């Protein structure tokens, strides 16, 4: 398995400017993209707006230390791995750091050959783990993200939209008359309907921005970050019309549209469940309104 250096982003976090700059030069010389931060607060800001593959963080820093930063990353940036660095006189040890969730540990002064080996191994492991995760988080029929992926991604996206103060729209989509079509034409024809809808969802949404899921059976959903109510309606109408034009017998789409705003008065799990229930009700209102339509509950 080849190392994927060209687009791998390493964030170096160290309050010592000399060390930070030295590591930046070293990491870049190894073929990686390198960002730097003088402390945990600055690193958190970087992570909010830039996808980072690996954080190489000093353990002892003013304010939030490296272990606290590790805890934050494990909670809020699950796709980012962390390597902790520490001086020989410092108390953090390998077992403690790995148990806390870091993927590796390196002593200062950092040996270039050791860092090169640790980063190469981390990239290989990330590639393998991400492929296994991809297989477990995607629907085998449509290749869309599956329900397990939605259950993990939805609260994360709601929290991120809340922190960064942008809108997040959820569209819940159900195929009308699918059972009848499946019974009449057979399961293979039914699978073709579902596969075609998956393709339409990908084609009608924004690449690397929106997220498309098959929740199970003939139920799908789309998460639309940083989309206005009008943009959300435009996207799902495009989906509805594109599917209708395929002419799969009497099948059409009923779609419910809601905005996901965090309600601070509710526990997070209850709040997430409430958002899903509103989307579910909007979708069933679409079915009860004659099917083949979109019902928006965005105020």
**Catalytic residue ranges:** 218
188-216 burial string, b = 16+ CB within 10 Å, else e?
eebeebbbebbbbbeebbeeeebbbbbbe
What's the token pair of residue 225? 């970050």
What's the token pair of residue 127? 């590639």
Residue with tokens 């996206």: 157
- For helices 147-164 and 268-288, the axis angle rounded to 10 degrees is 110
Give CA separation, 61 vs 42, 57, 243, 281, 296, in Å.
Answer: 12, 9, 55, 50, 49
What's the token pair of residue 265? 């008065």
> Edge-to-edge strands of the sheet including 54-58?
33-37, 9-13, 54-58, 81-87, 104-108
Answer for the pair 85, 59: CB distance below 8 angstroms, yes or no: yes
What string of DSSP letters covers 241-296? HHHHHH--TT-EEEEEEEE----TTS-HHHHHHHHHHHHHHHHHHHHHTTSSEEEE
Q: How far apart are CA 110 and CA 116, in angstroms?
A: 10
Outline where 6-111 has alpha helix (H).
17-29, 40-49, 66-76, 94-100
Answer for the pair 177, 251: CB distance below 8 angstroms, yes or no: yes
């Amino acid at each position: 398995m080849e190392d994927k250096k060209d687009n791998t982003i390493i964030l170096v976090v160290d309050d010592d400017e000399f060390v930070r700059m030295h590591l930046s030069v070293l990491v870049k010389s190894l073929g990686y993209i390198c960002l730097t931060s003088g402390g945990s607060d600055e690193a958190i800001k970087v992570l909010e707006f830039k996808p980072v593959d690996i954080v190489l963080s000093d353990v002892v820093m003013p304010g939030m230390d490296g272990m606290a930063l590790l805890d934050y990353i494990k909670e809020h940036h699950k796709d980012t791995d962390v390597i902790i660095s520490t001086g020989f006189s410092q108390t953090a040890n390998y077992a403690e750091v790995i148990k806390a969730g870091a993927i590796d540990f390196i002593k200062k002064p950092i040996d270039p050959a050791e860092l090169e080996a640790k980063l190469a191994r981390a990239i290989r492991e990330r590639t393998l783990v991400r492929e296994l995760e991809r297989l477990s988080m995607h629907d085998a029929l449509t290749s869309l993200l599956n329900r397990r992926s939605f259950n993990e991604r939805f609260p994360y996206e709601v929290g991120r939209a809340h922190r960064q103060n942008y809108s997040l729209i959820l569209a819940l989509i159900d195929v009308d008359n699918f059972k009848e079509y499946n019974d009449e034409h057979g399961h293979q024809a039914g699978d073709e309907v579902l596969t075609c809808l998956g393709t339409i969802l990908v084609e009608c949404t924004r690449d690397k921005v929106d997220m498309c899921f098959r929740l199970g059976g003939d139920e799908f959903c789309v998460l639309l970050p940083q989309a206005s109510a009008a943009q959300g309606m435009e996207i799902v109408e495009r989906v509805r019309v594109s599917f209708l034009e395929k002419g799969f017998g009497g099948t059409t789409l009923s779609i419910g549209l809601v905005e996901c705003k965090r309600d601070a008065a509710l526990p997070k799990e209850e709040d997430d469940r409430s958002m899903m229930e509103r989307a579910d009700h909007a979708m069933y209102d679409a079915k009860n309104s004659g099917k083949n339509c979109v019902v928006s509950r965005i105020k």
